[in-house]
Amino acid sequence: MEAQIFSFGLSSTLPTSPIQNQKNPFFQILLKPSSSSNNLTLKGIFLKPHVSFSPKSFPSKEFFQCRNCLQRIEREAITVPDSDVSKELRKKKLAVFVSGGGSNFRSIYEATLEGTVHGEVAVLVTNKNDCGGAKYAREQGIPVILFPKAKNSLEGLSEEDLVGSLSAYNIDFILLAGYLKLIPTELVQAFPRSIFNIHPSLLPSFGGKGYYGIKVHKAVIASGARYSGPTIHYVDEHYDTGRILAQGVVPVLANDTAETLAARVLQEEHKLYIEVAAALCEERIVWREDGVPLIRSKEDPNHYK
């Protein structure tokens, strides 16, 4: 199948109502087949106006929804899932939230530098300006935002200002990595299905308000549970109640202390968060009909985790 090219006026109700853009009134779409016969790649390339789009020439009944930001269309390719999507998709911008040393943040950041995660950490948000994660971010030249605003202090942002700042950074996904504050409703609503948290137990067990850090591991051992591990879930307005996206499992040994179990779980956290961040940036998250999110395997597109 040869590549097919179509040019048309950009419209909010394609293909009937052209929206005039003074600088780039028309752009070209390149539809080319991928490794799967049912997959098409959509690329936006700005050209001088020359040919108008005819709906009769559209190659299939599928519809593609373009972003309303012309500049963003210019620099990105929107691709149906493929085995090598990182070459086609633009890098996603990530905001990471931390309250402590930020070991998960460091792992994610290093993975972006190595190319394992097709994204970039654009900003770090913390409620503790002098925590290890914030110090590391400054050393790497990553902007640091203090949130929430401390009482009787001029430092820090309000909920509204935080939403505005993250929007200004064009953030795609927010990753909570040991951030101990409840995420405000304003932020959840501004970034739907785009905020994630990692919790050091197999939710829904040992989760909710009061379950964080070493307290979680003490509770796991006291319960007699034979297995534990991290959970990455979507964030809603409550603690640890969002849809589960991924989990990792480690054994709880007979002679474990809270500290030894915490170290074992943390190693799995680093691995799991990188895998999930990579899937997010490669747009490999799919939703089952019953509302359960799944991760499509990069190696085998027919396999889901």
CA–CA gap between residue 107 and residue 277 (Å, rounded): 11
Rounded alpha-carbon distances, angstroms, from residue 32 to 5, 6, 39, 302: 9, 11, 8, 21
User: Using an 8 Å Cβ cutoff, are 22 and 62 in contact?
Assistant: no
Report the distance separating Cα 165 and Cα 163, nearest Å: 6
**Residue among 180, 266, 184 at smallest CA distance from 217:** 266
DSSP letters along 134-165, please?
A: HHHHHHTT--EEE-SPPTT-S-S--HHHHHHH
Q: Which amino acids are annotated catalytic?
A: 199
| Cis status, amide bond into 204, omega within 30 of 0 | yes
Residue found under tokens 């048309």:
8
User: Can you tell me the distance from the alpha carbon of 97 to that of 290, in angstroms, rounded to the nearest whole number?
Assistant: 30
Bridge partners, 32 (sequence order): 41
Would the CA dihedral through 12, 13, 15, 20 be positive or negative? negative
What is the residue type of 145?
I
Residue appearing with tokens 């419209």: 11
CA–centroid distance for 157 within its chain: 22
